[in-house]
């Protein structure tokens, strides 16, 4: 069955450093992969989408890589700030109808001032 | 603000009761998704509707049902409620049928006593 793995342990880093979060998936070949941010008690917010033919995508301080051979995506936040503290979810996606949306359980990021 | 609205924000009810959660998608979005998120649990996909028709089904209990109306708003009905149904219920919407970016509402927090 399809499986998405994100580090369940919280990632604690110091303000200004780069945070790197990992998403591994097995038993399927997504056409693209999305990253979302979720704050406690709130709905997830879309951050970035990267397609299978793209190696890297950037948006401001965010960078995502997608390695379809390793079945892995890395999510980087550079110059991290305490306001970046949240849970980050990855969602490898197929396309088209009858696809079952599947999200990883997320990794909690805590940025210390 | 994602443009997705959910009502009510909070709901407290007793075991055995029935409740209805409501979702209005973003303007122009044809797909609506429902998710359940329990404490410390990941997002569990329940069901998806696209333009009024059921498109995909996750691990939705038989006690739960949903529908999407001609104006594209959706309702999730939960009946014979149990303590374990206490959770955050999120609705999300997207333009197309599946796989692409979803925009989440603020959620309905259900507490079953």
Q: Confirm if A2 and A10 have CB atoms less than 8 A apart.
A: no
Report CB contact under 8 Å: A43, B109.
no
Per residue in B49-67, pLDDT (tens digit) is: 999 999 999 989 999 999 9
pLDDT category of residue B99 using cuts at 50, 70 and 90: low
Sign of CA dihedral A109, A31, A25, B46: positive
Encode pLDDT of B65-86 as tens digits. Answer: 999 999 999 999 999 999 999 9
Are B99 and A43 an interchain contact pair (Cβ–Cβ within 8 Å)? no
Whether the CB-CB separation of A21 and A86 falls below 8 Å is answered with no
Establish if A99 touches chain B: CB-CB under 8 angstroms: yes
Q: Which helix (H) or strand (E) holds A75?
A: strand A72-77
Per-residue CA distances from B87 to A4, B17, B46, B108 (Å) = 22, 15, 13, 8
Candidates B47, B51, B102: best to mutate against A (most CBs of A within 10 A) is: B102
pLDDT for position B10: 97
> Nearest Cα to A62, choosing from A48, A43, A44?
A48
The tens digit of pLDDT for each residue in A27-73 reads 888 888 999 999 999 999 999 999 989 989 999 999 999 999 999 99
Say whether residue A51 is in contact with chain B using an 8 A CB cutoff.
no
Predicted local distance difference test score (pLDDT) of residue B74: 98
């Amino acid at each position: 069955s399809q499986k998405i793995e994100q580090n369940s342990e919280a990632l604690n880093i110091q303000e200004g450093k780069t945070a790197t979060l990992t998403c591994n998936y097995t038993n399927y070949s997504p056409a693209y992969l999305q990253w979302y941010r979720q704050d406690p008690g709130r709905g997830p917010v879309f951050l970035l989408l990267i397609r299978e033919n793209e190696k890297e995508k950037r948006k401001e301080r965010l960078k995502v890589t997608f390695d379809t051979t390793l079945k892995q995506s890395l999510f980087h936040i550079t110059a991290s700030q305490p306001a970046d503290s949240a849970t980050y979810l990855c969602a490898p996606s197929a396309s088209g109808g009858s696809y079952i949306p599947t999200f990883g359980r997320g990794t909690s990021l805590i940025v210390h001032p | 603000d994602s443009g997705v609205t959910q009502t009510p924000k909070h709901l407290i009810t007793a075991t055995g009761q029935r409740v209805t959660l409501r979702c209005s998608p973003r303007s122009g979005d044809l797909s609506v998704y429902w998710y359940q998120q329990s404490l410390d649990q990941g997002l569990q996909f329940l069901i998806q509707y696209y333009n009024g028709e059921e498109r995909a089904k996750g691990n939705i209990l038989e006690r739960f049902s949903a529908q999407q109306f001609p104006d594209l708003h959706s309702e999730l009905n939960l009946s014979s409620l149990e303590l374990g149904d206490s959770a955050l219920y999120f609705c999300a919407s997207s333009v197309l049928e599946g796989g692409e970016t979803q925009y989440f509402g603020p959620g309905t927090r259900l507490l079953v006593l």
